[in-house]
């Protein structure tokens, strides 16, 4: 859907900032000459987030990658630092990230804040938007004389998942967790729902410390090079990152649910090893990526099953759609409960059918955050957050030059003739 809408759109200029001063100078020049600016980190943002709809300049921030300080379980980092380098450095000091996307190798701290929301670690810590998971972000405005603004606590919601439309993020302050020697574990199940029941139980057990709990259907597993060899044909896989202390309880729980452990290895070594793939690179959006390598015609859904009896809805959707939507579930904490997020593979046929699939899910109580729309409003953002972001944009980007077109309902005050709110 987005390929048709976005193919061929590109910037006319790339600016590689090497310092904060470079960013300020670039934004002041953009104001003067009316040039659109699309900030860019690792470029892994989905649904066209980093595609410059109106041309102009792409502002590459990956050289602003210094770790500024780390103390008492928090770290302050420049926006362009990759999450993998950040975690490696923190691990040497006994700390690790709370939440990171499966695209950790390329994704930057600033890109994750502005484009992402959850991932590995969310089964314990929730999403990036949960209070306490993002301490602060410093932005610079796009004005004649750009200003620095420090957003702390709830105010970070003004840039969170705003696709760089409400300021260029220069620095990010994140909370850390104590480093754990995680184990990558894969458990094979003959029956998908049995495996999903195991996952929901394991994810909710306070004594088993998990960093990742995912469940993927056998059809998807068959495209997982490096992992599929461990499962028999037709077996679905539960994929987990577990603290060593939880291994005994986890294997007992797996056996009680009819599961068979087919992989158990060190997560850090798998991430570092040449040719090895850490288990998280089969989870979250990487499951889709792995399958795309085999079948470029597939796409995916991003959905949230109801809190009450989610697996009953999962079963109902599987019966309704069969192989048109191979199932992939991620388990994560939301508010005070464990939730089940569907990142189903979709065997794409037409846009009309895709829209119908989304409608049927919503009619059945499964919320869909549409990953086939490129604006903030048409994606998954809560309305209150995008209303606040729109008001803030009048202050920080009055000409509407930051990633234009992504905040669908923003009209610069000088074009409406009305003063900014
Ligand atoms: C295979 C794959 C797996 C993924 N897994 C996950 C996952 O598990 N969880 C998840 O949440 N997301 C996931 N994503 C989406 C994406 O990786 C994350 O959103 C990621 O954090 C984006 O980081 P990035 O540095 O690549 O950002 P980019 O793609 O460079 O940018 C993302 C958005 O933020 C803006 N932006 C970037 N840097 C700045 C800045 N410094 N200031 C202002 N705006 C900025 C860009 O303009 C763009 O709109 C995945 C994507 C892929 C392709």
Top mutation candidate among 24, 40, 81, 405 for ligand 1, by most atoms within 8 Å of CB: 40
43 C-alpha to ligand 1 centroid (Å):
6
For residue 418, the model assigns a pLDDT of 54
* Residue 302 token pair: 């991003």
Q: Which residue CA neighbors atom 28 of ligand 1 most closely?
A: 43
pLDDT of residue 380: 66
pLDDT over 90 at 416, yes or no: no
Tell me the average pLDDT across 98-121: 97
Select from 15, 114, 162 the residue to mutate for testing ligand 1; criterion: most ligand atoms less than 8 Å from CB. 114
pLDDT for 420: 44
pLDDT at position 313: 97
DSSP, res 420:
-
Does ligand 1 lie within 6 Å of residue 46's CB atom? yes
Atom of ligand 1 nearest to the CA of 110: 41
Ligand 1 atom with the smallest distance to the CA of 139 is: 42
Percentage, residues of the chain above pLDDT 90 = 92
Average pLDDT, integer, range 336-351: 95
Distance 163 CA to ligand 1 centre (A): 9
Contacts of 9 (CB under 8 A, 6+ apart): 51, 52, 53, 55
**Maximum distance among all Cα pairs of the chain, rounded to whole angstroms:** 67
Question: What is the β-pairing status of strands 148-152 and 210-216?
Answer: unpaired
Tallying the residues shown for the chain, one arrives at 421
Q: How far apart are CA 250 and CA 192, in angstroms?
A: 18
pTM above 0.85, yes or no: yes
Give the strand pairing for 67-71 and 95-97.
unpaired
Ligand 1 atom with the shortest distance to the CA of 113? 21
What average pLDDT does the segment 52-56 reach?
96
Q: Percentage of residues in the chain with pLDDT exceeding 70?
A: 98
Q: What's the 142 CA to ligand 1 centre distance in angstroms?
A: 21
Cβ of 114 below 6 Å from ligand 1: yes
| 337 pLDDT above the threshold of 80 | yes
Mean pLDDT of 226-247: 97
């Amino acid at each position: 859907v987005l390929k048709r809408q976005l193919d061929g759109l590109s910037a006319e200029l790339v600016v590689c900032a090497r310092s904060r001063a470079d960013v300020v100078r670039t934004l002041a020049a953009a104001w003067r000459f009316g040039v659109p600016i699309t900030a860019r980190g690792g470029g892994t943002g989905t649904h066209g987030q980093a595609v410059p709809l109106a041309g102009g300049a792409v502002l590459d921030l990956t050289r602003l990658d210094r770790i500024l300080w780390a103390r008492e379980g928090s770290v302050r980092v420049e926006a362009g630092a990759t999450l993998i380098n950040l975690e490696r450095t923190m691990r040497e000091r006994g700390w690790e990230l709370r939440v990171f996307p499966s695209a950790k190798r390329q994704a930057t701290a600033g890109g994750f804040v502005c484009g992402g929301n959850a991932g590995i670690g969310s089964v314990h810590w929730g999403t990036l938007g949960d209070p306490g998971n993002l301490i602060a972000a410093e932005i610079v405005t796009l004005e004649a004389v750009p200003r620095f603004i420090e957003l702390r606590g709830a105010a970070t919601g003004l840039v969170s998942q705003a696709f760089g439309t409400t300021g260029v993020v220069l620095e990010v302050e994140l909370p850390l967790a104590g480093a754990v020697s995680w184990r990558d574990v894969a458990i094979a199940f003959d029956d998908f729902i049995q495996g999903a029941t195991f996952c929901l139980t394991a994810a909710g057990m306070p004594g088993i410390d998990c960093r990742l709990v995912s469940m993927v259907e056998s059809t998807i597993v068959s495209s997982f090079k490096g992992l599929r060899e461990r499962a028999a044909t037709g077996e679905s896989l539960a994929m987990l990152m577990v603290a060593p202390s939880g291994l005994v309880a986890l294997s007992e729980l797996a056996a009680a649910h009819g599961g068979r452990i087919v992989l158990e290895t060190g997560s850090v070594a798998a991430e570092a090893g040449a040719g090895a793939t850490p288990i998280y690179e089969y989870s979250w959006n990487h499951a889709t990526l792995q399958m795309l390598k085999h079948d470029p015609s597939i796409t995916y859904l991003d959905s949230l099953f109801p809190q009450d009896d989610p697996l009953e809805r999962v079963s109902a959707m599987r019966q309704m759609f069969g192989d048109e939507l191979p199932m992939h579930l991620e388990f994560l904490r939301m508010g005070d409960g464990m939730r089940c997020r569907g990142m189903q593979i979709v065997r794409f046929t037409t846009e009309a059918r895709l829209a119908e699939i989304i409608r049927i899910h919503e009619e059945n109580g499964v919320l869909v955050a549409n990953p086939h729309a490129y604006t903030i409003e048409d994606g998954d953002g809560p309305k209150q957050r995008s209303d606040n972001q729109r008001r803030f944009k009048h202050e920080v980007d009055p000409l509407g030059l930051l990633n234009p077109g992504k905040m669908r309902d923003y009209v610069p005050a000088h074009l409406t003739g009305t003063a900014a709110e």
